[in-house]
Amino acid sequence: MICFLALRGAWAALVLVWLVGAAYAKPQQRATGPLARTASFAAILLGFFLVGSDWGPAWLSGPPLLGRPWAPCAGAALTVLGCAFAIWARLALGSNWSGRPTVKVNHELVMEGPYALTRHPIYSGILLAAIGTALADLEWRRVIGIGILMLSLLWKIRQEERLMAETFPGSYPAYRRRVKRLVPGIF
From first to last of its 187 residues, the chain has per-residue pLDDT tens of 788 899 899 999 999 999 999 899 999 998 888 888 889 889 999 999 999 888 777 777 766 666 677 888 999 999 999 999 999 999 999 999 998 899 999 999 999 999 999 999 999 999 999 999 998 877 888 889 999 999 999 999 999 999 999 999 999 999 999 999 999 989 9
Q: Which residues contact 141 (CB under 8 A, 6 or more apart)?
A: 50, 51, 53, 56, 60, 61
pLDDT given for residue 165 in this prediction: 97
Q: Is residue 119 part of a domain?
A: yes
Alpha helices in 53-179 (DSSP H): 58-61, 71-93, 121-136, 140-167, 172-178
pLDDT given for residue 53 in this prediction: 85
Residue 70 belongs to what domain range? 2-178
Is residue 18 within 8 Å of residue 90, measured between CB atoms?
Answer: yes
Q: Is residue 52 part of a domain?
A: yes
Q: Is residue 137 part of a domain?
A: yes
Q: Is residue 159 part of a domain?
A: yes
